[in-house]
Amino acid sequence: MKAKKNKRERSQEMQQVSAGLRDVLGMTQRRKEHPQATWAEIEAAVDERMNQLRAQLIQDVVHMGETEEWSQRLKEERPKCATCGKPLVGRGEQTRWLQTNGGEAVKLTRTYGTCPQCGVGFFPPG
Ligand SMILES: [Zn+2]
C-alpha cells in the first residue's frame, strides 16, 4: 500500500478536485455511514465510482473532438480511404461500445464510411 516510489505531493489543484469529487461521488456520505471501512473497502469503492466517471469522461472528451456530419460534405472535404485515397462514402451512423481499462463501457457514435474504390469500410477519426 505504501508506495515509496512515485511518492510525490499532489498539486493544490488536484486536492481541490478530490475534495469536490468526494462529495459528488458520494464518498463523504459513504465514509460517514461506514466509519470502520478498511483501506481495501475504501479503495474498492473509490475505484468503482472513479471507473464510471472515467468512462463518462473519456466518452465526453472523445465526442468533444467530433466534427459535424462529414458524409454531407463535398467530396474533397470528406475523409479519405487510408489505402487508395478516394473520398469515403458515408453509410450512416453506427454505435460502438468500447471497453475502458477500468472495466466500464464507453459508447461511441460515429459515421461509418466505405471506400467506393476498394470497398473497405471504417470509422474515420474525428
Ligand atoms: Zn480505397
pLDDT at 108 over 80: yes
CA of 93 to the centre of ligand 1 (A): 20
Give dist(CA 68, CA 65) in Å, integer: 10
Question: Residue 14 is placed in which grid cell?
Answer: 488536484
pLDDT at 2 over 60: no
CA of 88 to the centre of ligand 1 (A): 8
| pLDDT tens string 28-42 | 999 999 999 999 999
Answer yes or no: are the C-beta atoms of 10 and 17 closer than 8 Å.
no
CA of 121 to the centre of ligand 1 (A): 9
CA of 16 to the centre of ligand 1 (A): 50
pTM, two decimal places: 0.61
CA of 38 to the centre of ligand 1 (A): 57
| pLDDT tens string 52-104 | 999 999 888 887 766 567 777 888 888 899 899 999 998 888 888 889 888 89
The 3-state secondary structure of 83-124 reads: CCCCECEEEEEEEEEEECCCCCEEEEEEEEEECCCCCCEECC
Give dist(CA 9, CA 82) in Å, integer: 45
Q: Residues with Cβ < 8 Å from 5, sequence gap 6 or more?
A: none
Hey, how many other C-beta atoms are within 10 angstroms of the C-beta on 32? 8
